[in-house]
DNA sequence: GTCCGGCTGA
DNA sequence: TCAGCGGGAC
C-alpha cells in the first residue's frame, strides 16, 4: 500500500532548473556560471539557432564572434562580408536582418541593446520567441520563450485541444504562468 | 522524401 | 493568416 504523501512535489520550474544544473551543456554562447551574459552574444546565438541545430551553429558562432566581437564591429562590416561568413547556414534573410539590426543598435542606440523584451522585439529578425529568450537569458526578465516544441509540451501538459496556431496565445499564457520570479537565483547558482 | 528549437512580407 | 526560406538529419 502506498505511503500517504506528506509533502507535495516541487514545482515544475524547480524540477526543470534542478535538471539544468546537472545536465546543461557547455556551449560557446553561455556565460560561465554566476556571470552575466553579453546581450550581443545571446542575440547572435539566438538568431543563428533559429531553425538550426547547435552543432551547425557552434562553428559559425565562434567565427562571427572572433571577427566581429561587438555589435559595433558587426555594424561596421560590409553586408557582403556578413553574408559570405553566413554562407552554409541557410535562411539568408537572417544574415541580412542581423546586419540591419546591428546597425540600428550601433547607430541609433549608442551600441547598447534594447533593455527589454518588448524593445528587442522591434529589431529586424527578432520575433516573439527570440525577444523572450534574449531578455530571459541576458536580462533575467521573467519571460517565457516558447518555441514550437515548448508549445507542444505545454499543450499536452494542460490538455489544450485548440488547434494550432489558434492556441498560441493561450499556450503562451500558460507557459508564462510557470516562469518563477526567482528563476535567476537558481539558474545562476555556480 | 519529409521534417524541422522562427521570422517576414503579402 | 500563411507560404517560403536553406541546409542537415533521419
Strand C and A90 CB separated by under 7 Å: yes
pLDDT in tens, A125-173: 999 999 999 999 999 999 988 888 888 889 888 999 888 888 888 999 9
Lookup result for grid cell 509540451: A153
Give me the CA A69–C1' B10 separation in Å, rounded.
Answer: 36
C-alpha to C-alpha distance for A164 and A169, rounded to whole angstroms: 10
What long-range pairs does A69-73 form, CB within 8 A, spacing at least 24?
A: A70/A40, A70/A111, A71/A40, A71/A43, A71/A102, A71/A105, A71/A106, A71/A111, A71/A113, A72/A102, A72/A106, A72/A111
Q: Quote the percentage of chain A above a pLDDT of 90.
A: 63
Give me the CA A87–C1' C5 separation in Å, rounded.
Answer: 14
Q: Which residues 115-174 of chain A have a CB under 7 Å from nucleic chain C?
A: 165
Q: Give per-residue burial for A70-88: e unless 16+ CB within 10 Å, then b.
A: ebbebbebeeeebeebbee
Measured CA distances, A14 to A124, A176, A184 (Å): 34, 15, 11
pLDDT in tens, A72-98: 999 999 999 999 999 999 999 999 999
* N-terminal to C-terminal alpha carbon distance within chain A: 41
Higher-pLDDT residue of A119 and A32 is A119
pTM as predicted? 0.91
Strand B and A170 CB separated by under 7 Å: no
Lookup result for grid cell 539566438: A46
Strand C and A52 CB separated by under 7 Å: yes
Give me the CA A7–C1' B9 separation in Å, rounded.
Answer: 53
User: pLDDT confidence of A8, banded at 50, 70, 90?
Assistant: confident
Give residue A1's pLDDT. 45
Strand B and A131 CB separated by under 7 Å: yes
Say whether pLDDT at A187 is over 80. Answer: no
Q: Is A46 a catalytic residue?
A: yes
Give me the CA A151–C1' C9 separation in Å, rounded.
Answer: 22
Strand B and A26 CB separated by under 7 Å: no
Amino acid at each position: 500500500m502506498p505511503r500517504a504523501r506528506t509533502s507535495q512535489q516541487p514545482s515544475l520550474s524547480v524540477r526543470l532548473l534542478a535538471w539544468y544544473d546537472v545536465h546543461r551543456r557547455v556551449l560557446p554562447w553561455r556565460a560561465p556560471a554566476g556571470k552575466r551574459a553579453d546581450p550581443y552574444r545571446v542575440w547572435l546565438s539566438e538568431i543563428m539557432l533559429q531553425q538550426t541545430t547547435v552543432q551547425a551553429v557552434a562553428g559559425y558562432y565562434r567565427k562571427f564572434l572572433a571577427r566581429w566581437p561587438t555589435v559595433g564591429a558587426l555594424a561596421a562590416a560590409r553586408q557582403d562580408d556578413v553574408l559570405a561568413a553566413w554562407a552554409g547556414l541557410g535562411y539568408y534573410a537572417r544574415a541580412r536582418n542581423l546586419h540591419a539590426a546591428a546597425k540600428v543598435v550601433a547607430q541609433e542606440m549608442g551600441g547598447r541593446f534594447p533593455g527589454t523584451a518588448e524593445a528587442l522585439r522591434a529589431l529586424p529578425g527578432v520575433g516573439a520567441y527570440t525577444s523572450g529568450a534574449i531578455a530571459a537569458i541576458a536580462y533575467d526578465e521573467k519571460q517565457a520563450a516558447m518555441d514550437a516544441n515548448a508549445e507542444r509540451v505545454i499543450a499536452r501538459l494542460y490538455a489544450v485541444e485548440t488547434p494550432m496556431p489558434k492556441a498560441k496565445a493561450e499556450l503562451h499564457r500558460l507557459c508564462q504562468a510557470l516562469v518563477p520570479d526567482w528563476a535567476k537565483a537558481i539558474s545562476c547558482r555556480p
